[in-house]
Structure 1
Amino acid sequence: MQKVPTVYDVAELAGVSIATVSRVLRKPHEVADATRDRVNAAVLDLGYVPSGSARSLAARRSGAIGLCLPDFDGIDEVSGLAPVEFSDGRVSTVLDLPEDVELGDHLYISEVMLGTEIEAWQHGMAVTIAVARGSRGSEIFDNLAGRVDGIVTLARTIPDKQLAHIARRVPVVVLAGPRSDDEYDHITTDNAEGMRVMTSHVLEAHGVTDLAFVGGPADSPDDDARFRGFCQALRAAGLTAPATPVARGDFTRAQGRSIGRRLLAEGRVPRALVCSNDQTALGVLDALTSAGRRVPEDVIVTGFDGIDASEVSRPRLTTVYQPMRDLGRAAVDTLLHRLRDSQIPPQTRTLPVKVLLRGSCGCLPPESV
C-alpha cells in the first residue's frame, strides 16, 4: 500500500516549515503568493489531504455542525427497506398507471437543510446530518453530539431529558416550538399570528363563517400555535372556536387527500378549509377537485409554509409564507454566537411570515390563477 503523505512531506518538498504549510492550509491570505503557490503545488503533487481529526484536536473544535432531524419518511426499522438492485444490463418497460403518488412531502425539511448548509458554508464549517429514526434514534443522536461543535434540531425530535443531557456537552439550537423550561436557543416563525391573519382574511374579505381547521400531528408545536391563531380569529369575529381541528394528518399530501375524501364521504365539507400546512392543503385540494368540487367557488382552501408546489397548483394556493431556508440560516448564526460566547442568555428569535393571497381563496380572477 502506498505511503500516506504527511505535512512533513509537504514541507520538505516545498522547502518550508510545517508551520508555513499549516498557515497556507488554514489562512492562505496571510502567506506570500510565491510561498503559497509552492505549498499548494506540493500538496497536489503528493496528494496530501489534511487530517481533520488532528486539526480538531489542536483547535478543540470539529469544524462541523450537527443537524438532527425527525423520522420524516416513515422508515422506522431496517426490515422495512427493500434491497438495492443493481443493473444486469437489461432495461424493463412498464405501463405506469396513475396512482396516489407521494410527491416531495418533506420540502420544509429540505429548505431548512439547505439554509443550514449555506450558513455553515459561509463560515467555513461542515454540516453533519442525522435522522433520529426508530428505536436507534437516541443512540444516533448521542453519536452525532460527540462529533460536532453544536447541534441544530427540530422540536420534539429528541426526548427532552436526553436533549438536556446533551446540551451540557455541546450547545443546542431548537427549531420550531416555544421555549419551555429549558436553556436552549430557539428559532421559530410567527405561526399563531400568521394563521390568525389568514383566518381573519377568510372571515372578513370573503364573508365566510362556516370554516374548519385541518391540523397536523397533535404533538407538533407549530400546529398547536397555528390552531391557536385560527381560534383567536374566530373569537375576535364573535364565533365559537372549536376545541379541536376537524381532522388531523401528518403534514403530508397523501394524508391531506385522505382527509379530504373522508370529509366528502361524511358530508362535512365546510365553505372554507384552513389547513395547517401546504402539503395537507394540496392533498385536500386534490380530493376536492377529483370529486368535482370547485375551489374557490364551492370551497376555499388555504395552507401554511409557501412551498414551491403551492405556486403551481390549480388554483394556486393561498398560504402563509414562512422563510424556511432562513430558519436554518438563523439557527447556524445563533449557534455560532453561542460558540463564541457561552455566557449570553438563551435567545428566542422569531422570523416574520406573510400571507400570500392567490386563487384558492378567490382573491385572484381565474385568468391569474
Structure 2
Amino acid sequence: MATTRSSRPTVYDVADRAGVSIATVSRVLRRPETVSPGATRRVLDAVRDLGYVPSGSARGLAARRSGAIGVAFPAFDDVAEIDPVPLSDVPATMRLDPAEAAEPVTNLYMGEVTRGVELEAWRHGLFATVAVARGERRDAALEDLAGRVDGLVVLAGTTPPEVLVRVARSTPVVVVASPRGEDPLDHVRTANGPGMRALVEHLLDHHGLRDVAFVGGVADVPDDLERFAGFGEALASRGLPVPAAPLLRGDFTEERGRALARGLVDAGRVPEALVCSNDQTALGVVDVLQRAGVRVPGDVVVTGFDGIDAAGRSRPRLTTVHQPMAELGRVAVDVLLRRLADPAAPLEDRVLPVQVLLRESCGCLRA
C-alpha cells in the first residue's frame, strides 16, 4: 500500500537520495552544465522520485542567494479611487460607455521598465519580484523586499535616498531615472535634459512658436526636473524668458492631464504650445482640447515625453521624445549583476540616449 508523506521533501532529502551535497543539488537545478552528467542524472532522478519542488531559497544555497531581483516603484494611483464592482446574478450585462468616461491611470512607463528587468533577469536564470511602495509603510515595504532578493532596482522617488543608502549596506541597489549625486549607489537614466531641449528648440526654430508652456509632473521627481531644465535651456538659447516653474503641474497620469486641460479651456487661455513632461499627461490634454473644439496642432501644439505605444496610435499622433524604457530595466539588471559580482567596483551612472519623434501633434506631418 502506498504511503502518504508526512512532510514536503527538502533539498536535503534529494541530496541524501542522490548521494551528493546540497551544493551539488543547487548547481544541478540552476547551472547543470557545471555538474558531471552522472551526478546530474542522479539528482534529477531523486527530484522526480521524491516529487521535490525546489524553492527559491534551496536553489540559491550554493551561491547564498535567492535567485530573485526586486523591482520597486512608487504608487501612481490611489486605492480609494478603485470602485468596487457590483455583483449581479446576470452573467453578462450591458451599458453605454462614453469615451469621456475612460480615464486610465496606469503608469505605462513603469510597465515597460519592469518588462526590461524581468526579461534580463530571465536571461540570467533569475526572476523578478515587483513591489509598489505605497502610503505610510513604503519604507518598510522596501526594506522587507530587500531581505528577500539578491538586489534591488528602484525607481527614483520611491523612497527617500537615505533609506536606499541604508538598504544598500546589505542589498545592492540600482536607482533608475535619477542622476547620481553624493549617494554611494549605481544609477541608470536617460538623456532627459538634452532630449527635451532638442524638442523645444525644434518648436521654436521650425514652427516659430514663442508662447510655449511646460506642463510638469510630480514635483521634485528627477526626470521631471531634468526635462524642465532642458525646456528652460532651449528658451534661454533663443533669448526667450525662462519661467521659474512649470505653468501647470500634474502627476504623470492621463486623468490629471485631462483635468489640467479643462482648467485651461475654462480660463480661455491656451498657449501656442503645451510641452508636457510625459506622454500620458499629453494624451489627456489633447483629448480634452479636441473635445472643446481646440484644434491640435491647428490652434495649439502639444508634445510629450517617453514614447509609449499609445502616443503613436493617438489622433493626432503625439510628437514626443522616445526613451528606451525597457532598455532602462535591462541595463539596470546588468549594472546590478556587475555589482553583485564585484561589490568594490567603481559606482556607475549610465545615461541612455533618446530620440525626438516628430509627428502630427506639432504640425510636422499631415494629420
Question: Normalising to structure 1: TM-score of the pair?
Answer: 0.90
Correspondent of 2:53 among 29, 49, 55: 49
1:328 match: 329
Q: CA deviation at 1:88?
A: 7.6
Shift of 1:52: 3.0
Q: Could you tell me which amino acid in structure 1 is paired with residue 259 of structure 2?
A: S
Please state how far the C-alpha of 1:22 moved relative to its aligned partner. Answer: 4.6
Compute the displacement of 1:195 (Å): 0.3
Change (3 A) 1:361 1:246: same
Aligned to 2:77: 73
Shift of the 227–56 alpha-carbon distance from structure 1 to 2, 3 Å rule, reads: same
Q: 1:31 to 1:253 in 2, by over 3 A?
A: same
For 1:265 and 1:29, how far apart are their aligned partners in 2? Answer: 67
Question: Which residue of structure 1 lines up, in the alignment, with residue 256 of structure 2?
Answer: 255
| Counterpart Cα distance in 2 of 1:140 and 1:256 | 30
1:31, distance to aligned residue in structure 2 (A): 4.8
Change (3 A) 1:129 1:300: same
Q: Is the 8 A contact 1:173 1:187 kept in 2?
A: yes
- Partner residue in 2 for 1:124: 125
Q: Which amino acid aligns with 1:94?
A: M
User: CA offset at residue 5 of structure 1?
Assistant: 2.6
Equivalent residues in 2 for 1:266-277 (5 A)?
266-277=267-278
Q: Distance in 1 between matches of 2:339 and 2:15?
A: 36
Residues 70 and 131 in structure 1, CA contact (< 8 A), matched pair in contact too: yes
| Equivalent residue letter for 1:17 | G
Equivalent residue number for residue 234 of structure 1: 235
Q: Secondary structure at the residue paired with 1:59?
A: coil
Decide which of 2, 6, 23 is 2:5's aligned counterpart: 2
Residue aligning to 1:278: 279
Letter in 1 for 2:76: F
% identical aligned pairs: 57
Deviation track 1:256-310 (CA, whole Å, cap 9, x = no partner) reads: 1111111111122111111110001101100110011111111111100000000
- Structure-2 residue corresponding to 1:91: 91
Match of 2:158 in 1: 157
**Which deviates more, 357-366 or 58-67?**
58-67
The equivalences for 1:178-193 within 5 A come to 178-193=179-194
Tell me the secondary structure at the aligned position of residue 305 of structure 2: strand
Distance 1:51 1:282, change over 3 A: closer
The worse-fitting range, judged by mean Cα deviation, of 193-202 and 239-248 is 239-248
After superposing the two structures, state which structure 1 stretch, 16-25 or 354-363, moved more: 16-25
Structure 1 residues 153-177: Cα deviation after superposition (integer angstroms, max 9, x where no partner)? 1112112222221121111111112
CA distance in 1, matches of 2:220, 2:230: 17
Tell me which residue corresponds to 2:200: 199
- 1:111 deviation in Å? 0.4
State the one-letter code of the partner of 1:67.
V
The 8 Å contact of residues 7 and 18 in structure 1, kept in 2 or not, is answered as no
Report the equivalent of 1:223: 224
TM-score, normalised to structure 2, is 0.91
CA contact (8 A) 1:156 1:220 kept: yes
**SS of the residue 1:153 aligns to:** strand
Specify the alignment match of 1:356 in structure 2: 357
Report SS of the residue matched to 2:320: strand
Judged with a 3 Å threshold, the aligned counterparts in structure 2 of structure 1 residues 363 and 276 are, in CA distance, closer, same or farther, namely same
What is the SS of the residue equivalent to 2:54? coil
Q: Which amino acid aligns with 2:5?
A: Q
Q: Distance in 2 between matches of 1:158 and 1:138?
A: 6
SS at match of 1:298: coil
CA separation in 2, counterparts of 1:35 and 1:183?
Answer: 43
Matched position secondary structure for 2:242: coil
Distance 1:46 1:318, change over 3 A: same
Aligned partners of 1:118 and 1:329 also within 8 Å: yes
Q: Is the 8 A contact 1:63 1:148 kept in 2?
A: yes
Distance apart, 1:348 and its partner CA: 0.7
Cα distance in 2 for partners of 1:35, 1:344 equals: 36
Amino acid paired to 2:96: D
User: C-alpha deviations, 1:223-242, integer Å up to 9, x for none?
Assistant: 11111111111111111111
Segments of 5+ residues of structure 2 without an aligned counterpart are none
In the TM superposition, residue 96 of structure 1 has moved relative to its aligned partner by 2.9
Mean alpha-carbon deviation: is it higher for 201-210 or for 156-165? 156-165
Q: Which residue of 1 aligns with 2:28?
A: 24
Structure 1: gaps (5+ residues): none
- How much does 1:220 deviate? 1.1
**Aligned CA distance change for structure 1 residues 7 and 348 (closer, same or farther; 3 Å):** closer
The aligned amino acid for 1:148 is V
> Deviation per CA, 1:30-60, whole angstroms, max 9, x where unpaired?
4565764564354234321124324444422
Q: Say if 1:68 and 1:153, in contact at 8 Å, map to a contact too.
A: yes
Aligned counterparts of 1:174 and 1:248: Cα–Cα separation in 2: 24
Question: 2:274 is paired with a residue of what secondary structure?
Answer: strand
Q: Kindly state the Cα deviation for residue 84 of structure 1 after the two structures are TM-superposed.
A: 8.0
- SS of the aligned residue for 1:360 comes to helix
Matched, 1:100 2:104: no
